[in-house]
């Protein structure tokens, strides 16, 4: 598919969304959860945040519905992997909190429920490329001042959009693999 892609980096606190056509950034936003909605289970993600994420995905998709060159945007979302409950730390193994992974899974599930044909791109390295490979709108002024010939950092909120950018960039490959799998 050569048309635009809506790339989504789902998260339990922040979700990055971009509309990408080739190497052109057409639109981007970061949706941020301001408060814990779920104090009973301790996940934090609830219906308000999920609805806000879905609303912004739809805004990105609909704002480019007529498409570039007549194409309708396709949806790509970063998947999740089963979390390892133990992480090696300097002082031995530590047990991690699975709440963020559960919350991210809830956001991913909501996206897939609304867009069941979305392409799922595996996690791992999305948003961590060299800064020079990202559109300038996805680079903070502070990052610009320190130079673009270095890996992207993970402290700026826009990092979620960089991840979504990479997800949208990988989507055609994963779409082709999925389509080839259906044909066999």
* Residue-range domains of the chain with CATH: 5-183 (3.30.420)
| Nearest-angstrom CA–CA distance, 18 and 171 | 13
Provide the pLDDT confidence category of residue 71 given band limits of 50, 70 and 90: low
Whether the pLDDT of residue 91 is over 70: the answer is: no
Are the C-beta atoms of 85 and 38 separated by less than 8 Å?
A: no
Assign 72 a pLDDT band (cuts: 50, 70, 90).
Answer: confident
Instruction: Please check whether residue 166 is in contact with residue 5, taking contact to mean a CB–CB distance below 8 angstroms.
Output: no
Q: Taking residues 117-126, what's their average pLDDT? A: 95
113 by Cβ neighbours in 10 Å (0-12 / 13-18 / 19+) ranks as exposed
Ranges 54-58, 89-93, 166-170: which has the least confidence: 89-93
pLDDT at position 95: 72
Instruction: Give pLDDT, residue 171.
Output: 96
Check: CB of residue 12 under 8 Å from CB of residue 43.
yes
The token pair at 19 is 């509309």
Per-residue pLDDT band for 61 (boundaries 50, 70, 90) equals confident
Adjacent-strand bridge partners of 75 = 6
Average pLDDT of the segment spanning 14-20:
97
25 C-beta neighbours (distance < 10 Å), count:
18
The mean pLDDT value for 143-163 works out to 92
Predicted local confidence at residue 90, as pLDDT:
61
């Amino acid at each position: 598919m050569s048309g635009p892609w809506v790339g989504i980096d789902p998260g339990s606190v922040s979700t990055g969304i971009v509309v990408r056509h080739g190497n052109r950034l057409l639109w981007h936003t970061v949706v941020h959860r301001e408060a814990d909605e779920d104090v009973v289970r301790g996940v934090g993600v609830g219906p308000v945040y999920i609805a806000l994420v879905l609303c912004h995905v739809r805004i990105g998709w609909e704002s480019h519905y007529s498409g570039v060159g007549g194409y309708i945007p396709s949806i790509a979302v970063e998947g999740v992997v089963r979390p390892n409950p133990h992480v090696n730390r300097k002082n031995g193994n530590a047990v991690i909190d699975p709440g963020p992974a559960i919350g991210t899974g809830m956001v991913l599930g909501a996206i897939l429920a609304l867009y069941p044909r979305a392409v799922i791109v595996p996690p791992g390295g999305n948003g961590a490329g060299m800064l020079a490979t990202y559109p300038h709108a996805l680079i903070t002024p502070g990052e610009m001042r320190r130079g673009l010939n270095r890996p992207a950092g993970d402290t700026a909120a826009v990092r979620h959009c960089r991840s979504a950018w990479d997800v949208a960039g990988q989507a055609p490959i994963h779409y082709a693999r999925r389509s080839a799998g259906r044909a066999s």
